[in-house]
Amino acid sequence: MKILAVDDDEIILSLLAGTLDAFGHTDYKLAQSGEEALTLIKASETKFDCFLFDIQMPGMDGTELCRSVRCLDGYENTPIIMITAMNNKDYFDRAFLAGATDYVTKPFDITELNTRLSLAERLQNEFTRLGSAQESTASGIEGIQFEEPVRLPKVEGVLPSSVIGNYLSQMVQSNATTLQVFAIRIPELKSVFEGSSVDEFVYVIADIVEVISEIVTGYQGLTSYFGSGIFVCVCPSDDLPHEKEIEKVLKIRMNDPELVYCEDVSVTFSVLVGRPSSTSFFRQNSPFELFGMAIEAVNTDESPTLISKAFQFVKDLETRLSA
Amino acid sequence: MENEAIKKIENQLKQKMQTVRLRFVDTLNTRIVDLDSLLVAMITTDNARNELAEIEAHAHKIHGISGSIGLSRLGALAAQLERILYENRVGSHMPDLTFVKELTNSLLDEMENVLEEQT
């Protein structure tokens, strides 16, 4: 794995280099500023497979660097681990929204850093797997399933399903704030999937996730698409309205006549918002347990198979990311 | 065999950390002088915003590295100072300068202790 570590403090860089050496990562480069890192990335003949960015740096900070890297060809999904001494929600949110996939707080535990690097490798495999399935299906080969998430274009406030778990786990570990995790299910997406091409389906999901995210970001929350027509949201508990209220607003916005989702399939969307599960200092559920509980809450009599498949997806994702 | 490999990694890490620790301790004298002059400037100037920002930057760096190289007390003191200065800066408040001075002095004392232990 080719790694680029960036920190303005050369002692931290030595510490990172020492850790990488000890764990057998020999193919790495170091940079002391965001600007130097960008030059290195652009000049590199082979692509970097993982980045470690300090957030607080003079000049271009780590969050800005992260945003710039995401705009470079071939680096849309490369794992980016942010490193900072700050562990409050604002910092986590800004980093993940800029495209970070994970977070390590300073002072870092050396073995934890290595665990995060292994996780980054598995995350990269997960992105590749998802991308290949989508491309195969687009070219007529059976690949993508309704029960799987799709790779979406960049939408503000939306994280991939494999990354939102890292976000939640950092928030739980740091006790930054209490969060509510809830799921939104749009049953009609099944017929959209069956009656449209992959590109059209991705387009519909992107439009819907945008509508959901507009509401969720209003409560400083983040959204992710988990497949099976199910979206999972993570929000701070303050001021979050009752699920029926969210359902009402979403239904109106999603069926706005000005939104044309897919010309081939005419649908009126219904919305199910599940009861939230909360993170708690006293009972620390893993992110995947919380996602499972949120998905279980949008179960209805007609949907047990679908829900069990969604549940299975969360379990498989957990296995793939912790293998 | 696996245990041997782990032991090898642990030894390698220990050596690397010791080297990094020595490099960091080598910088402490300069950091002490810098922080001392910032404290004096903070007390004598009418608007200490620049000095507070620089003290915060020093605390940030010390906090970032100390805990990872076994200097946890130093790291905790730096973290406390950094947090107070950060929260006040973000909230656009002027912190209680007497308290900042006390925290900075505790940090300076601990830096001296680390230097003494090392020599």
pLDDT at A304: 67
Q: Enter the tokens of residue B51.
A: 């000095």
Q: Enter the tokens of residue A74.
A: 């071939």
Percentages helix, strand, coil for chain B, rounded to the nearest 5? 90, 0, 10
Mean pLDDT of A248-258: 86
Q: Does A245 touch chain B (CB under 8 A)?
A: no
Mean pLDDT of B3-8: 79
Closest-CA residue to A179 (of A241, A221, A242) = A221
ipTM, 2 dp: 0.83
Q: Does A56 touch chain B (CB under 8 A)?
A: yes
Minimal Cβ distance to B64: which of A18, A22, A106: A106
What SS3 state is found at A98? coil
Q: Does A32 touch chain B (CB under 8 A)?
A: no
CB contact under 8 A, B13 and A110: yes
> Measured between beta carbons, which residues in chain B are less than 8 angstroms from residue A109?
68
Count CB neighbours of B110 within 10 A.
20
Burial class (CB in 10 A: 0-12, 13-18, 19+), A218: exposed
Q: Does A106 touch chain B (CB under 8 A)?
A: yes
- Tell me whether the omega of the peptide bond preceding residue B95 falls within 30 degrees of 0, making it cis: no
CA-CA distance, A286 to A315, in Å (whole number)? 12
Minimal Cβ distance to B64: which of A12, A18, A21: A12
Q: How many residues does chain B have?
A: 119
Minimal Cβ distance to A107: which of B27, B67, B86: B67
- In tens, the pLDDT along B67-78 reads 888 899 999 999
Distance from CA of B57 to the nearest CA of A (A): 9
CB contact under 8 A, A12 and B63: no
Q: Which residue of B has its CA nearest to A112?
A: B68
What value, to the nearest 5°, has the Cα angle with vertex A163 and ends A157 and A165? 105
CB contact under 8 A, B63 and A106: yes
CA-CA distance, A173 to A88, in Å (whole number)? 11
pLDDT at A37: 97
Mean pLDDT of A230-251: 88
Minimal Cβ distance to B16: which of A11, A22, A86: A22
Instruction: Tell me the pTM.
Output: 0.80
Q: Which residue of A has its CA nearest to B76?
A: A107
Tell me which of B65, B71, B85, B87 to substitute to probe the interface with A (most A C-beta atoms closer than 10 Å). B65
Q: Does A16 touch chain B (CB under 8 A)?
A: no
Average pLDDT score, chain A:
84
Closest-CA residue to A226 (of A146, A284, A107, A303) = A146
From residue B8, how far is each of A1, A14, A115, A142, B14 by CA, in Å?
A: 21, 19, 18, 47, 10
A141: confidence class by pLDDT, cuts 50, 70, 90: very low
What SS3 state is found at A4? strand
Q: Which residue of B has its CA nearest to A13?
A: B20
For residue A232, is pLDDT > 80? Answer: yes
CB contact under 8 A, B60 and A11: no
Q: Enter the tokens of residue A155.
A: 């939408």
Taking an 8 Å Cβ-Cβ cutoff, which residues of chain B contact chain A? 9, 12-13, 16-17, 19-20, 23-24, 27, 60-61, 63-69, 75, 79, 82, 86
- In tens, the pLDDT along A167-178 reads 888 887 776 678
From residue B75, how far is each of B29, B46, B92 by CA, in Å?
A: 17, 30, 25
From residue B33, how far is each of A222, B27, B55, B66, B67 by CA, in Å?
A: 45, 10, 12, 18, 22
Mean pLDDT of A113-123: 86
CB contact under 8 A, A11 and B13: no
Give Rg (Cα) of chain A.
20
* For the ranges A39-48, A136-145, B14-23, the one whose mean pLDDT is highest: A39-48
Minimal Cβ distance to B64: which of A14, A19, A107: A107
